[in-house]
Amino acid sequence: MSSLITLEGKKGLVVGIANRHSIAYGCAAAFKALGAELAITYLNEKAEPHVLPLADSLGASIVLPCDVREPGQLEAVFEAIKTSWGRLDFVLHSIAFAPKEDLHARVVDCSRDGFMLAMDISCHSFIRMARLAEPLMTHGGCLQTVSFYGSEKVVEHYNLMGPVKAALESATRYLAAELGPKGIRVHALSPGPLKTRAGSGIDRFDTLLQRAAERAPSDKLVTIEDVGACSAFLASDAAKALNGSLAFIDGGYHILA
């Protein structure tokens, strides 16, 4: 009997694996487990040795470098997908960056350059990915990005990333409305705090983890496997009636006053 939730026959691009703790890795593992064929990127030469063994274990058929700041690199990834696959079914954008001095400063004090760089890597790159994916999603598709609750509430020490994630969530809704008629669905995942490299860049991140573990109605932190399962469901045809969602994967933390 065929499973209701499957990614058999689907081809997906995963951007954002740095190591086995990355949210993108948890998602990629779930995509693979449900039968998808994957294209995986790594940031640069320094990241390559950490990502290649993971891409191997996921049986990725396309593995390429992609620093979204580098002109042409993102385009080259989509060109390779077009040449090898001729189409694309889903994309996971799981990347973010802000310069440390701006991330650790009050929003009032963040620099113009730091703000623009954080917006470019963490938000506008998702719009660029959507634009490049659109012509390849000939039978519809699903685009997903990863946000955080600090977009809508002031979370101590989340600082500059708050307004950046707010822009990302808003962009998600506009992309969902614009691409919906083509059967392309666009979602933002909003996981609770997870111990990853990007997470540890946030000042006093351990306090954030501890508070989430203590206060979430589920009584525990979420895992990258939890995020992967939800992401894989959203990428599947079982979720074809969902579009423009902000999916809180946080054990219910966001409902608390």
Residue with smaller CB distance to ligand NAD, 13 or 96: 96
The least distance separating ligand NAD from the CB of residue 2, rounded to whole angstroms, comes to 31
Q: At what angle do helices 224-235 and 23-33 cross, to 10 degrees?
A: 50
Out of 42, 158, 220, 240, pick the active-site residue: 158
Q: How far apart are CA 125 and CA 70, in angstroms?
A: 11
Residue with smaller CB distance to ligand NAD, 10 or 165: 165
The least distance separating ligand NAD from the CB of residue 52, rounded to whole angstroms, comes to 13
Q: Is 165 a catalytic residue?
A: yes
Q: Is 149 a catalytic residue?
A: no
The least distance separating ligand NAD from the CB of residue 85, rounded to whole angstroms, comes to 21
Residue with smaller CB distance to ligand NAD, 34 or 160: 160
- Which whole-number Å values give the CA distances from 222 to 51, 195, 229, in the listed order? 23, 10, 11
**Cβ count within 10 A of residue 3:** 11
**Cβ count within 10 A of residue 189:** 25
Amino acid, single-letter form, for residue 202: I
Going by C-alpha positions, the residue among 32, 25, 91 that lies closest to residue 227 is 25
Q: How far apart are CA 180 and CA 103, in angstroms?
A: 34
The least distance separating ligand NAD from the CB of residue 136, rounded to whole angstroms, comes to 19
Q: Length of the chain, please?
A: 257
The least distance separating ligand NAD from the CB of residue 36, rounded to whole angstroms, comes to 19
Q: How far is C-alpha 31 from the geometric centre of its chain's CA atoms?
A: 13
Residue 185 makes CB contacts below 8 A (sequence gap 6+) with 140, 141, 142, 143, 176, 179, 234, 239, 240, 242, 243, 244
Out of 10, 11, 32, 165, pick the active-site residue: 165
Question: Which positions lie near ligand NAD, rule CB under 6 A?
Answer: 16-18, 22-24, 43, 47, 66-69, 94-97, 121, 146, 148, 191, 193-194, 196-199
Residue with smaller CB distance to ligand NAD, 16 or 251: 16
Token duo for residue 158: 């989340």
Residue with smaller CB distance to ligand NAD, 8 or 48: 48
**Residue recorded with tokens 């973010």:** 96
User: Catalytic site residues?
Assistant: 158, 165
